[in-house]
């Protein structure tokens, strides 16, 4: 616990699990973590034998050791537990940088047409400084941009940050978000229809959620019984 219970440590391990190899890539996956603290956590994990540091030319890369990879099912289990039981998202839990970083690395490259495909996302409920995002899918990989890359856009997604977060987590379907009006798609008709196939959901989206209605009903009945008992008393 002295090693793993420090703030951000397991999220750094998660980033390395998800394929981040360079310092700036890891940092984009934990956008609220300061560079100095990230450097400190990486050095701690290296000393503990959980992470290895390599130099490739002028670039430094980080990789999980066998001990680090053995943490993968533990980190995944914690993620599934949080998805299943901590379902309420406050405004402070919503982060466009983190969301778009996760979305861009879960694109289904086999479903996206060959050549360049550009997707634009506009979050209507947040400050202009973080409102507009682009994902560019090409033959050489996927990039997420905070500045307009200047390419023709096949699909533009206008939505709230909360709605896209809920879709990404598997709490809300694409059809539900569109029906509610919290999400609007613009662009080529074929691309609009294909978008849900291009954007895979969070790896934890399939986590079963508990059935809360019986519990709520039980609480309601208990409250009613208590109220009647109080009135009778």
CATH code at 168?
Answer: 3.30.1050.10
Statement to judge: residues 71 and 127 lie in one domain: no
- Residue 135: helix, strand or coil by DSSP? strand
Statement to judge: residues 45 and 107 lie in one domain: no
More confident residue, 231 or 63: 63
Statement to judge: residues 79 and 98 lie in one domain: no
Whether pLDDT at 158 is above 80: yes
For residues 115-144, average pLDDT: 94
Whether pLDDT at 137 is above 80: yes
Statement to judge: residues 194 and 95 lie in one domain: yes
Residue 216 lies in a domain: no
Dihedral of alpha carbons 165, 171, 176, 180, sign: negative
What pLDDT shows up at residue 5? 87
Question: pLDDT for 83-104, tens place per residue?
Answer: 999 878 888 889 999 999 999 9
What pLDDT shows up at residue 86? 82
Residue 138 lies in a domain: yes
Residue 226 lies in a domain: no
Residue 188 lies in a domain: yes
For residues 213-218, average pLDDT: 44
- Tell me the C-alpha distance between 26 and 23, whole Å: 5
- Tell me the C-alpha distance between 152 and 193, whole Å: 18
Residue 52 lies in a domain: yes
Statement to judge: residues 102 and 174 lie in one domain: yes
Query: Where a domain ends, among 43, 65, 85?
Result: 85
CATH code at 21?
Answer: 1.10.10.10
Statement to judge: residues 134 and 189 lie in one domain: yes
Summary mean pLDDT of the chain:
89
Statement to judge: residues 38 and 118 lie in one domain: no
**Which residue segment(s) compose the domain that 22 sits in?**
9-85
Statement to judge: residues 104 and 186 lie in one domain: yes
What pLDDT shows up at residue 25? 93
Statement to judge: residues 134 and 163 lie in one domain: yes
What pLDDT shows up at residue 212? 55
Statement to judge: residues 138 and 192 lie in one domain: yes
pTM: 0.82
Beta strands of 39-90 (E only): which ranges? 51-56, 59-64
More confident residue, 165 or 231: 165
Beta bridge partners, 175, equal: none
Q: Give me the number of domains the chain comprises.
A: 2
Whether pLDDT at 226 is above 70: no
Query: Where a domain ends, among 85, 106, 131?
Result: 85
Query: Where a domain ends, among 85, 104, 129?
Result: 85
Whether pLDDT at 222 is above 90: no
Statement to judge: residues 134 and 37 lie in one domain: no
For residues 145-170, average pLDDT: 95
Residue 228 lies in a domain: no
Residue 55 lies in a domain: yes
Q: CB burial class (10 A; 0-12, 13-18, 19+) of residue 25?
A: middle
Residue 125 lies in a domain: yes
């Amino acid at each position: 616990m002295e090693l793993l219970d420090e703030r951000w440590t397991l999220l750094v391990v998660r980033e390395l699990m998800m394929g981040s190899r360079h310092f700036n890539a890891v940092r984009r996956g934990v956008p609220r973590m300061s560079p100095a603290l990230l450097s400190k956590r990486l050095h701690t994990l290296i000393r503990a034998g959980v992470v290895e540091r390599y130099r490739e030319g002028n670039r430094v890369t980080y990789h999980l050791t066998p001990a680090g990879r053995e943490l993968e099912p533990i980190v995944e289990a914690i993620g599934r537990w949080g998805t299943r039981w901590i379902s309420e998202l406050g405004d402070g839990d919503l982060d466009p940088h983190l969301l778009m970083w996760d979305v861009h690395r879960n694109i289904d490259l086999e479903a996206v047409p060959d050549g360049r495909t550009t997707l634009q996302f506009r979050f209507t409920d947040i400050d202009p400084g973080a409102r507009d995002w682009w994902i560019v899918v090409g033959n050489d990989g996927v990039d997420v941009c905070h500045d307009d890359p200047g390419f023709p856009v096949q699909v533009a997604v206008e939505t709230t940050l909360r709605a896209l977060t809920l879709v990404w987590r598997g709490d809300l379907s694409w059809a539900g978000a569109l029906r509610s009006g919290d999400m609007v798609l613009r662009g080529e008709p074929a691309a609009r229809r294909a978008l849900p196939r291009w954007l895979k959901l969070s790896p934890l989206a399939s986590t079963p959620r508990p059935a809360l209605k019986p519990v709520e009903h039980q609480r309601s009945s208990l409250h009613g019984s208590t109220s009647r008992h109080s009135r009778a008393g």
